[in-house]
Amino acid sequence: MTKNRVAKGMKKHYRSKGSRRVGSPPPPRIQRDRAGGRGTDDQRGSHPAVPLSFHDASLPFRSPPPPPRLPRPKPPLPLPPNSHPPPNPTSLKTLAPAAAPLPRAPMAAAASSEEAVKAAKVLMVGAGGIGCELLKTLALSGFSDVHIIDLDTIEVSNLNRQFLFRQSHVGQSKAKVARDAVLKFRPNINITPYHANVKDSTFNVEFFKQFSVVLNGLDNLDARRHVNRLCLAAEVPLVESGTTGFLGQVTVHVKGKTECYECQPKPVPKSYPVCTITSTPSKFVHCIVWAKDLLFAKLFGDRNQDNDLNVHSKDDSSSKTDVFERNVDEDLSHYAQRIYDHVFGYNIETALANEETWKNRRRPNPIYVRDALPEDAVQQNGCSQDHKNEEQEPSAMVSLGLRNPQEIWSLADNSRVFLEAFKLFFEKREKEIGNLIFDKDDQLAVEFVTAAANIRASSFGIPLHSLFEAKGVAGNIVHAVATTNAIIAGLIVIEAIKVLKGDYQNYRMSYCLEHPATARKMLLMPVEPFEPNKSCYVCSETPLVLEVNTKTTKLREVIDKVIKSKLGMNLPLVMVGATLVFEDGEGLEPDEAENYALNLDKVLAELPAPVVNDTKLTVEDFQQELKCSINIKQRDEFDKEKEPDGMVLAGWTGPVDKQITSNGDKRLVPSSSSADDVDSAAEDASVKPGMKRKLNEILESQENFDVQNKSDVGSSSAQIVEDDDDDIVMFNEDPMQGKKKRLQ
């Protein structure tokens, strides 16, 4: 009986093995190799040798003599020259479509990557949100020589995402503290910090030539353009990057092989007509601009500057006095209420007197203190006990007991905050009044602007916003996400290693999206970079055209508004034919500097070499080693609303349609998308690794960003939002549409 039971049990055991014949004996146990620590298989030899994780001394028995070792398998053959490496099984599934497994890359490729990393000398510009993650990733990836340039110091608001910094580091140099933090976990790396502006003359073309690659983590367009031009002049590859919220991108720029950073037009901040801001606001951002740039500047900034806020009484005696000035011996509470009644009550009533303005618009409601607050609330002051400590930053919210910055205040609460913040400025910060400039990190200034904007919004029937939301609008902030910074930093290092290896065929521009852009649910979208744009005035030296009234426009205006602002030159030199009419920079003789200063205030037609229709200007910046030509076209009149500069810079055109190949299918890709809806465009775009499609061709709508219909360099009709240390992204102004456009 026992024997039969055992046999049945063995039968079941053998049947469960499946791959062996039922009833066959179990395979012999793996034998130990005492000398080499290896085990061997049964007589079939179908499995490789299996290493054991314990020492021979742990065996309670004596091992038999080792069997003969099996020969090692031969290494796989090298990959074909144009093939892609196999997908990493641990990577995101959205990176690439499923493909047949390819043989592993030979070890020689890995060795060359390691050698390239160790030998590289890297310049990193920016040590903020991306920079902290990038420096950490560089250190952990084996880079041994890194130089960092950053002008900023650490602020409290940086600590929630810049993890190399701590509370004790506030006020110190970002570059230096980042170096010290990394040396704690990788002491053998050489990091050279520079607490300086990358636009300083120290960081010239010769300085850039010493580096193998430049990695950008900047937060403004001007510095990006400057670094791009220095990299072009020094012929050093540039890996550009940026993040905004959940969105981010990494682009590779190599002279002669890929487009430069300026081959595509860049958006500029949205400007609003003064009449919209002062008289007919229709969006909350209009109210923020009014509160920040007009009211705050008038009350606490330089009062000698022109300001469109003043609306005087019709009474002759009162019109001679600035209503914003505090009267002699005037009570502070009375002064605050008088300003409130003037800007939210009297000014609105004055605007309502123009009936033509409100024929097709909603009429605003004047608001006075007596309407917003009951009598007892008007006389009530904030709780002053919170401000007994003079070192504590004054806050109207704290004084009034409003603790939640994400709560939307009522009209009464906004009115109380306005009056309290107004008084706190005069009580606690009176010495600063007259020199104050709005700062998003100034708590009291943000409270005042939020309250003022909400009161004005209430008057015009615009939805109110919380302090948290208003701060984002006032500071052009899209709040940063640390995870996005980390993802982008990793992609930067991946592309940097490709650049160091000279792996040009595998360069990729990678985009991180908040939502999947295609039916394949891709959140990380790698696309192949474009070749240089032949119409780019930076890397292709294409002539530009400037429409200007040469009889009324001064040379100073052309230099400030066009050459420095739009073309991004720091120390320009301007020549008319062979005549030098202006030069900026150090080393000028006193008489030369005086002559150039005199030329600045002359109109173009009256310069020593007159600038008239069809005149050709040659503009050069020796620091950037950039030179371009500007053809002058005479134009007598300009639209003050659409062309406030009184001149139009033209001549930049988008890249022509390009023929691409994806999986054997050829088709044309336009430089900007059609007028189709962005969602349908995203579905049609089957972007695969190696396919030459850009994010703007998938996510861009022509109605918001049409390169072909705009001649002004860097022009755009969309609003720009920017976080405090990362990149620029453009959103549609209509929040209901939620369309995202090209990341720059």
Residues marked active site are found at 275
Q: Which two tokens stand for residue 335?
A: 């002064």
Q: C-alpha angle 513/514/518, rounded to 5°?
A: 60
Rounded Cα distance between 725 and 530, Å, is 27
Give the integer Cα–Cα distance in Å for 692 and 529. Answer: 7
Nearest to 681 by CA among 662, 695, 671: 695
For 656, residues 6+ apart whose C-beta sits below 8 A from its C-beta are 671
**Phi, psi of 21, rounded to the nearest 5 degrees:** -65, 140
Whole-angstrom distance, CA of residue 40 vs CA of residue 26: 15
- What are the φ/ψ torsions at residue 530 (nearest 5 degrees)? -85, 160
Q: Which helix (H) or strand (E) holds 473?
A: helix 467-474
Element (H, E) at 633: strand 626-634
Enter the tokens of residue 367.
């608001």
Measured CA to CA in angstroms, residue 31 lies from 17, 26, 44, 46 at distances of 21, 15, 14, 15
Alpha carbon separation from 176 to 90, 164, 203, 738 (Å, rounded): 35, 11, 18, 40
Length of the chain measured in residues: 744
| Spatial separation of the C-alpha atoms in residues 40 and 30, rounded to whole Å | 5
Tokens coding 110: 């890995």
Secondary structure class of 646 (helix, strand, coil): coil
Residue by residue, what is the 3-state secondary structure of 214-230?
Answer: EEECCCCHHHHHHHHHH
52: which 2 tokens? 């054991």
How many other CB atoms are there within 10 angstroms of residue 591's CB atom? Answer: 8
Q: Rounded CA gap, 327 and 533, in Å? A: 62
Residue 265 and residue 654 in contact, taking contact as beta carbons nearer than 8 Å: yes
Calculate ∠ Cα 221-225-228, nearest 5°.
140
Angle at 684 between CA 668 and CA 82, to 5 degrees: 60
CA 118 – CA 131 distance, rounded (Å): 20
Question: Do the beta carbons of residue 14 and residue 27 sit within 8 Å?
Answer: no
132 burial (CB, 10 Å; 0-12 / 13-18 / 19+) is: buried
Q: Closest Cα to residue 245, out of 583, 722, 616, 707?
A: 722
3-state secondary structure of 232: helix
Q: Residue 242 is inside which H or E element, if any?
A: strand 238-244
Output the CA–CA distances (angstroms, integers) from residue 648 to 71, 542, 556, 567, 711, in the order listed.
Answer: 76, 17, 15, 13, 8
Dihedral angle, C-alpha 320, 326, 329, 331, nearest 10 °: 130
Backbone φ and ψ for 556, nearest 5 degrees, come out as -60, -40
| Beta pairing partners, 616 | 631
